[in-house]
Amino acid sequence: MDGKRQAHHDHGRRPARTRRMRWLKLLRHRLAHLLTPHSHEAGDKVDAAMETSRDGMRTLWISLVVLGVTTVVQAGIVALSGSVALLGDTVHNAADALTAVPLGIAFLLGRRAADRRYTYGYGRAEDLAGVLIVATIAASAVLAAWTAVDRLLHPRDITHLWAVSGAALAGFAGNEWVARYRIRTGRRIGSAALVADGLHARTDGFTSLAVLLGAGGTALGWRAADPVVGLLITLAILLVLKDAAREVYRRLMDSVDPDLVTTAHATLRGVEGVLDTGQVRMRWIGHALRAEADIVVDARLTVVEAHRIAVAAEHALMHAVPRLTAATVHTDHTPVEDDPHATLHHHAPGNRKPSPTHFSG
């Protein structure tokens, strides 16, 4: 009897403990909403995408004005002095300013809603703009190198060295400000193309300082200083080209930070009812992330119960992964006697296990 009373007592304590645990989870969920408020409504997601595009466009317009003024000032001094190093820097600044055009078009296209042909929307236009930016950086490197070699073969005196020095300092200040602004905005909204454009501007700033060194060498009587610095500028442009190409290449290949995948797995395993996780995939669409995830649930659950867990898993992911706007969660179940995947097995390459039973969250 004592054992039965003890068992009955323990049975009465378990529901109370379960209720406390559920209450604590609900409290944490409410606090998470207060600290990181967001909405899951489709219209609000579109508004968020529009807001990030507006931030990108604002950054482009402001940086275009700053670089435009810098380029005009430097071009005037190039005409007066004949400095080939300053010419290379000016061309690079002009090219950097013009990259705002394809990127701005990409941001505008990214605002368009998905349709039956482009079912994921038009966010990939940013990746195409990134390719154009990389091509522009490469073209400016070729032009700077050609001009520098031509001046080495055909030397020419440089005048107005103080004006050249002033233009170089102005170019550094303008480009570094634009670089910081673009990179900061690009990382905040998740735009690899805007980050690449910011790296492009940063190189312009350093090449402007190199022009200053060339002017100093010329003032000391070394006639080759200006074209030599022009060649050094070319090398600097090539280094930035490597970094920008890597950024754009990774985005084109659907590369994401591995830490985000680790976070997604940990988050999914923390959802009540999720017994294990399978494959988790993420990709960038413009400056927003989308995810697909597989979870394992109890085979005895009903379709409604499994769907409820899938929705909870999607909700948890959107809280845990920055800039994640949507996730499709597939639910698989614990092993049963008849494997429902058997009919799909011959479709899987290499007899790999096909995608699990799917309840979209």
Whether 69 and 214 share a structural domain: yes
Whether 72 and 188 share a structural domain: yes
As a whole number of angstroms, the distance between CA 96 and CA 133 comes to: 8
Whether 194 and 140 share a structural domain: yes
Residue 27 lies in a domain: no
As a whole number of angstroms, the distance between CA 346 and CA 130 comes to: 40
Helix (H) or strand (E) holding 285: strand 276-285
As a whole number of angstroms, the distance between CA 184 and CA 196 comes to: 11
The boundaries of the domain holding residue 179 are 42-252
pLDDT at position 316: 95
Q: Is the pLDDT of residue 356 over 60?
A: no
Whether 260 and 191 share a structural domain: no
Q: What is the CATH number of the domain that holds 86?
A: 1.20.1510.10
Residue 146 lies in a domain: yes
Mean pLDDT of 328-355: 67
Highest-scoring range by mean pLDDT, 35-39, 209-213, 330-334, 337-341:
330-334
Whether 210 and 316 share a structural domain: no
- The pair of three-digit structure tokens given for residue 43, joined into one six-digit string: 């219209």
Whether 169 and 199 share a structural domain: yes
As a whole number of angstroms, the distance between CA 142 and CA 217 comes to: 24
pLDDT at position 79: 78
Whether 193 and 276 share a structural domain: no
Question: Domain end: 186, 219, 252, which one?
Answer: 252
Query: How much of the chain is in helix, strand and coil states, percent to nearest 5?
Result: 70, 10, 20
Residue 14 lies in a domain: no
Whether 89 and 171 share a structural domain: yes
Strand partners, 284: 289
Q: What is the CATH number of the domain that holds 326?
A: 3.30.70.1350
* Of 165-174, 213-222, 345-354, minimum mean pLDDT range: 345-354
Residue 19 lies in a domain: no
pLDDT at position 265: 96
Whether 197 and 314 share a structural domain: no
Whether 49 and 111 share a structural domain: yes
Helix (H) or strand (E) holding 290: strand 288-297
Highest-scoring range by mean pLDDT, 42-51, 206-215, 305-314, 347-356:
305-314
Residue 154 lies in a domain: yes
How many domains, the chain? 2
Whether 225 and 261 share a structural domain: no
Mean pLDDT of 189-208: 76
Residue 6 lies in a domain: no
Residue 21: name the closest of 270, 308, 311, 296 by CA.
270
Q: What is the overall mean pLDDT for the chain?
A: 75
Residue 313 lies in a domain: yes
In the block, which residue shows the tokens 């700033």? 205
User: What are the pLDDT digits (tens) for 262-317?
Assistant: 999 999 999 999 999 999 999 988 778 899 999 999 999 999 999 999 999 999 99
Distances (CA, A) of 206 to 37, 104, 137, 226, 227: 41, 25, 15, 15, 16
CA atoms 226, 231, 234, 238: torsion sign: negative
Question: Domain end: 231, 252, 273, which one?
Answer: 252
As a whole number of angstroms, the distance between CA 74 and CA 51 comes to: 35
Q: Is the pLDDT of residue 211 over 70?
A: yes
Question: Domain end: 196, 217, 252, which one?
Answer: 252
* Of 4-18, 117-131, 332-346, minimum mean pLDDT range: 4-18
As a whole number of angstroms, the distance between CA 337 and CA 139 comes to: 63
Q: Is the pLDDT of residue 36 over 50?
A: no
Whether 171 and 247 share a structural domain: yes
Residue 311 lies in a domain: yes
